[in-house]
């Protein structure tokens, strides 16, 4: 076996071994989640309060978020066509429109109404939104500065 082969083998052992070592470092994320039992689980529960407390904390965070913040989160699915600042792209610019205008238009799309030539693109989008989400998005869009 030539020297190159040996060093190649050594290199691969090293390359494979490093991630494995790194995985063991994270005490809660062992190779399998299920291996975090006993002391490991008790420790995790003590540090985080457990699954129930985590869920409660998440719910609380959501409840304390403002409509604009919730709207911003829901707007994530719109960025591809309307731009991160609502400046428009595939779809028309939304920045500069009033909360009421944005909400009304979304309701129209949700009802399957035709507004422009490409309304079909919006029907599916609006169908996925709840009334609450449309209101929050409208609040958020109104906060966007006119480009």
- Residue whose CB is nearest to ligand HEC in the complex, by number: 116
For residue 87, the tally of other CB atoms under 10 A from its CB is: 15
Tokens 């494979």: give the residue.
16
Minimum CB separation from ligand HEC for residue 14, in Å?
45
What does each C-alpha distance from 62 to 56, 69, 71, 103, 131 come to in angstroms?
A: 10, 9, 12, 21, 17
Q: Is the dihedral angle over the CA atoms 137, 139, 143, 145 positive or is it negative?
A: positive
Minimum CB separation from ligand HEC for residue 83, in Å?
10
- Segment contacting ligand HEC by CB under 6 A, of 10-18, 21-29, 41-49, 118-126: 118-126
Member of 36, 73, 81, 107 binding ligand HEC (CB under 6 A):
81
Q: List contacts with ligand HEC (CB under 6 A).
A: 77-78, 80-82, 90-92, 94, 102, 105-106, 115-119, 121-122, 125, 129, 137
């Amino acid at each position: 076996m030539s020297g190159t082969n040996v060093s190649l083998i050594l290199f691969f052992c090293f390359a494979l071994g490093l991630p494995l070592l790194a995985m063991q470092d994270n005490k809660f994320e062992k190779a399998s989640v299920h291996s975090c039992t006993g002391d490991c689980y008790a420790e995790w529960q003590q540090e985080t309060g457990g699954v129930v407390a985590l869920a409660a904390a998440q719910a609380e965070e959501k409840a304390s978020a403002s409509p604009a913040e919730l709207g911003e989160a829901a707007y994530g699915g719109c960025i591809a066509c309307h731009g991160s600042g609502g400046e428009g792209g595939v779809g028309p610019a939304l920045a500069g429109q009033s909360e009421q205008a944005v909400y009304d238009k979304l309701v129209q799309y949700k009802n399957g109404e035709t507004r422009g030539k490409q309304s079909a693109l919006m029907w599916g989008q609006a169908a996925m939104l709840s009334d609450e989400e449309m209101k929050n998005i409208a609040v958020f869009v109104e906060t966007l500065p006119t480009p």
